[in-house]
Structure 1
Amino acid sequence: MPASFVPPRQVKIGDAAAFAGCTPRAIRHYHEIGLLPEPERGGDDRRRYGYEDMIRLLWIRRMADAGIALEDIREAFAEDSADAHGGDGIEAVLERVEGALAAQEAELRRQRTAVQRMRVEGSRMGLLSDLVTERLKGLPEGSLHQADLDTLLVTERIFGPLGAAVQATRFVALAVHPALREESDRVDAAEEALDDSVAVDDPRVAQVAAQRHAFEGALHAVIEESGLDADDDALFDAWDAAHPETGDNEENGSGSSSGRAMSVLEATGKMPYEFSPARLRCMELAAELSVLTADEGGGNPRLPT
């Protein structure tokens, strides 16, 4: 440097912030949390920063830029001050930071995979788990309804990927049997018509319940005849082989990456449905018919395929 240049022995907070690449407000915050010791003050009662203050400030900024939390930086300085050689404190902090960054990297890879799968599938189906999307691959274009994917999304949240993959069997059968899909749409519409204007003892409630029972029997028969139930058995076997030691709450992969895992009862109680009293009664009657049919050993009603 030129012989005539004499560097300052101390600088004010504005110059310190400019040199360190931060703001005076940030430096004041470092003082408040005990990360940067308060420096001497001049005759004007303003802070004056010397060489050691600036060295510490520069290290603080470099660590913060590396993603280290301020409380971890403070801990590292505290431990280093007790170590003649330094390094032990920051080593422990860096180990934690590296672990956190590795977890973030894994999450980013998972998110990118989901987006790529969605692009390949060309629909929101790609955002369901691999187990479910594999089950739905190869179906005729346009054979899946958005309502099908909505249902699978809810099922996966409550029962996990395995539960949704098994339920996907239903939509596979509907996708490859147009007459069955048509009947499904008709029964769904009849149930939706049981709104709040319909009394629970309205004759239509029992009629729609009988239609639902007949449809479910026909659907079950198609699933059996097409061998889709055997595919379900294979799914269970593959899942058991891949998850040999999971507990009761995890055996079906309940929960998801989107929030903490919940029990089936807890999750069911948190998902709202706009079911009128008449529609709920219809569901009860359909369930009673299923139990009655099972007790009597009756066969499943048939629909044209």
Structure 2
Amino acid sequence: MHPSLIPPRLVRIGDAAAFVGTTPRAIRHYHAIGLMPEPERGADGRRRYGYEELIRLLWVRRMADAGVALESIRDAAAADDLAATLERLGRSLAAQEAELRRQRSAVERMRARGARLGLLSDLVAERLEGLPEGSIREADLDGLLVMERIFGPVGAAANASRTVAMATDPALREESDRVETAEGALDDTVPVDDPRVAQAAAQRHAFETRLLDVIERSGIAAQEQALIDAWEAEHPDDAGEPSERVMSAVEAVGKTPYDLSPARVRCMELVEELAAR
């Protein structure tokens, strides 16, 4: 018989799948979603695949390996619009790549700085660089993480000046601990007119006054402003108004768990009154 009269060789679905590098189940799925037409079946009722079908399977396999969704491959083939599909895929992969770089940078930052410090933005973390080892407490970092969520990097960096001042002045840290202990004792058993409420308020006011004086005289405030100015110059889109990811202070109060006794609330009011004088 002349070679041109010899019918083309057809293979079964298992052989076609093995050649392409997929599975018979995957090929059946291609048929089910309309990605490939059903091939002719042999006398035994089984599907048979020829050269053109194998080419189509290889094409689908390569496209899927590149990240193109099967539905997109089907639609592109039907509309003969493969170029547009690849263009969209390119943009999507570029965005994913940028996100992976951001995630990797965040992981490396946490590894280099330590888990807790690494959770803070670069601006806030840089504000704490060079401080004596062990001078920053975990509670300080946790508080700054909350501040950054509410007020953004700039607001948290400004608040970090308190941490810097206490980290470099042990006496100031001790006074802060005494004030917090006095305030912590104002639980639900303490009446709002108890003398301890006014005493704790006076202690807090005196401490805050001294703290602000230390921040100004030591140059901490100037360092803070210089870092913030440099950061805002490098991130003009993030300067000024908080980003959408930053929660308003009012919203944060409604979503943050807290348990302030009436005596503690009264203490805070008295501190505000003292500061306003």
What TM-score results when the alignment is normalised by the length of structure 1?
Answer: 0.76
- How far apart in 1 are the matches of 2:133 and 2:64? 51
Equivalent position of 1:301 in the other structure:
none
Matching residue within 176, 179, 194 for 2:168: 176
1:34-78 deviation per Cα after TM superposition (whole angstroms, max 9, x unaligned) = 222233344554433333222211111111111222232223212
What one-letter code is carried by the residue in structure 1 that aligns with 2:78? A
Equivalent position of 1:225 in the other structure:
217
Equivalent position of 2:49 in the other structure:
49
When the two structures are aligned, how many residues end up with a matched partner?
272
Matched, 1:198 2:189: yes
After TM superposition, the structure 1 stretch with the greater mean CA deviation from structure 2, 114-123 or 97-106, is: 114-123
1:215-261 deviation per Cα after TM superposition (whole angstroms, max 9, x unaligned) = 22221121122122233433454355445566xxx625535xxxxx2
- Mapping for residues 209-224 of structure 1, pairs under 5 Å: 209-224=201-216
Matching residue within 262, 271, 274 for 1:289: 271
Indicate if the aligned counterparts of 2:123 and 2:228 stay in contact, CA closer than 8 A.
no
Match of 1:10, SS?
coil
1:127-163 deviation per Cα after TM superposition (whole angstroms, max 9, x unaligned) = 3211111111100000000111111112222222111
Indicate if the aligned counterparts of 2:131 and 2:168 stay in contact, CA closer than 8 A.
yes
- Mapping for residues 72-91 of structure 1, pairs under 5 Å: 72-80=72-80, 89-91=81-83
- How far apart in 2 are the matches of 1:287 and 1:238? 36
- How far apart in 1 are the matches of 2:68 and 2:89? 6
- How far apart in 1 are the matches of 2:86 and 2:254? 40
Matched, 1:264 2:248: yes
Indicate if the aligned counterparts of 1:13 and 1:49 stay in contact, CA closer than 8 A.
yes
CA 1:286–1:96 in structure 2 vs 1: closer, same or farther (change >3 Å)?
A: same
CA 1:295–1:166 in structure 2 vs 1: closer, same or farther (change >3 Å)?
A: closer
State, as a whole percentage, how many aligned pairs show the same letter: 60
Matched, 1:164 2:145: no
Indicate if the aligned counterparts of 2:201 and 2:270 stay in contact, CA closer than 8 A.
no
CA 1:98–1:194 in structure 2 vs 1: closer, same or farther (change >3 Å)?
A: farther
What TM-score results when the alignment is normalised by the length of structure 2?
Answer: 0.82
After TM superposition, the structure 1 stretch with the greater mean CA deviation from structure 2, 108-117 or 156-165, is: 108-117
CA 1:191–1:289 in structure 2 vs 1: closer, same or farther (change >3 Å)?
A: closer
What one-letter code is carried by the residue in structure 1 that aligns with 2:211? L
Higher helix share: 2
Indicate if the aligned counterparts of 1:213 and 1:286 stay in contact, CA closer than 8 A.
no
- How far apart in 1 are the matches of 2:250 and 2:36? 48
Moved over 6 A (4+): none
What one-letter code is carried by the residue in structure 1 that aligns with 2:55? I
Indicate if the aligned counterparts of 1:156 and 1:164 stay in contact, CA closer than 8 A.
yes
- How far apart in 1 are the matches of 2:159 and 2:255? 18
- Per-residue deviation at 1:168? 0.9
Matched, 1:127 2:133: no
RMSD: 3.0
